[in-house]
Structure 1
Amino acid sequence: MEYNYIKALHLIFVITWFAGLFYIVRLFVYHAEAKQKPQPDQDILIKQYQLMQYRLWYIITWPSSVLASLFAFWMLYKNQGLLYVSYFQVKLAFVLLLYLYQAKCHQIFKQLQKNKVKYSSNFFRIWNEGATIILFAVVFLIILKDAINWIFGVIGIFVFSILIMVGFRLYKRIREKK
């Protein structure tokens, strides 16, 4: 019974962690677009986006990632056999990618807090799909519990990514026509 409570808490914090990652990059998009606005709109928008980014990052995203990780380690302590199962090892590789994704988001966050915009809003729109791809991979691995079929899942993720890119380009064309 205790294990199920730990698993439930882990899942709750994974969900809020992903919510934070999805939304922070959306705020990066808005921040980059605000740099193109005339004054005084630019200053007003950027100040507001920086505040929103700060609160989201330090009040939701980071605490959620830490708590999701703590509950994950607790579950692994309770069920150490998972470490020897191939699908779970692949899942851990994707979790490592998620940590790297968050580290890069943190680097971008710190730059934007200084109002140094090094990437375009289009880059951020594409970057936002990184967490989506990781989410798909992890969910399919955990539900299917199959390390062999994850290859088909990864192929599916790449096809999904290509479709996202095509959709992004179509959306960009539609926006440019307006």
Structure 2
Amino acid sequence: MYQYVLAIHIIFVVCWMAGLFYIVRLFIYHREAQDKPEPARTILSDQFAVMEKKLWWIIATPSMYIVIAAGATMLHINPMLWKMPWLHVKLTFVIGLIIYHFICQSKMKQMAQGKFTWTSTQLRLWNELATIILFAIVFLVVLKSALNWIFGVVGIIAFSVILMMAVKIYKRFREKK
């Protein structure tokens, strides 16, 4: 039974993460649509609001709840997992991801009301946070070490910094043309 629940858990982690990654991408497009002249701004904003709402309530949020339920079921089936230090660190990151989820939900509601408090660059950086949390969780689960995951996270942070520098260089290059 444990293996079936684990499979469900993994499948819906993928769905949840896809939803989290795509929702922030939609936020970026939605924010950038505010710089368009009318009627394009209104048409695009309305369409992005519909896409965000459907993605959120049909894919991302149900997936999150299934992930939580499957994880709790695995802990119930195998209570020995509670004795493993890496699990406690993983659960801390999972709580961080749940908080991230609800902050995204709040951003979605703000944007639907026409409140755009973050720039597209800030949203791009926000998207990287989910990636870092995902890397930390995967390294913890695979390595089963409360310490070795740090190397993986440091690596992804370094990669993210390099990637963001490349994006900024490309942006400057594109603006000069």
TM-score (norm 1): 0.94
For the Cα contact (< 8 Å) 2:5–2:70, is it kept in 1? yes
Secondary structure at the aligned position of 1:128 is classed as helix
2:11 matched residue in structure 1: 12
1:36 matched residue in structure 2: 35
Structure 1 stretch 88-97 or stretch 44-53: which is displaced more?
A: 88-97
Distance 1:86 1:157 in 2: 22
Distance 2:26 2:75 in 1: 34
Distance 1:102 1:71 in 2: 18
1:126 matched residue in structure 2: 125
2:69 counterpart letter in structure 1: L
Distance 1:114 1:142 in 2: 39
Query: Which runs of 5 or more structure 2 residues have no equivalent in the other structure?
Result: none
Superposition CA RMSD, Å: 1.2
Structure 1 residue 126 displacement after superposition:
1.1
Deviations 1:23-70 (A, max 9, x none): 000000001000000001001000000000000000100000001110
Distance 1:171 1:19 in 2: 26
For the Cα contact (< 8 Å) 2:136–2:150, is it kept in 1? no
1:169 matched residue in structure 2: 168
Structure 1 residue 150 displacement after superposition:
1.9
Alignment of 1:1-178 (within 5 A): 2-178=1-177
For the Cα contact (< 8 Å) 2:136–2:153, is it kept in 1? yes
Secondary structure at the aligned position of 1:119 is classed as coil
Secondary structure at the aligned position of 1:59 is classed as helix
TM-score (norm 2): 0.95
Structure 1 residue 155 displacement after superposition:
2.2
Structure 1 residue 153 displacement after superposition:
2.4
Structure 1 residue 174 displacement after superposition:
3.1
- Percent of aligned pairs sharing the same letter: 49
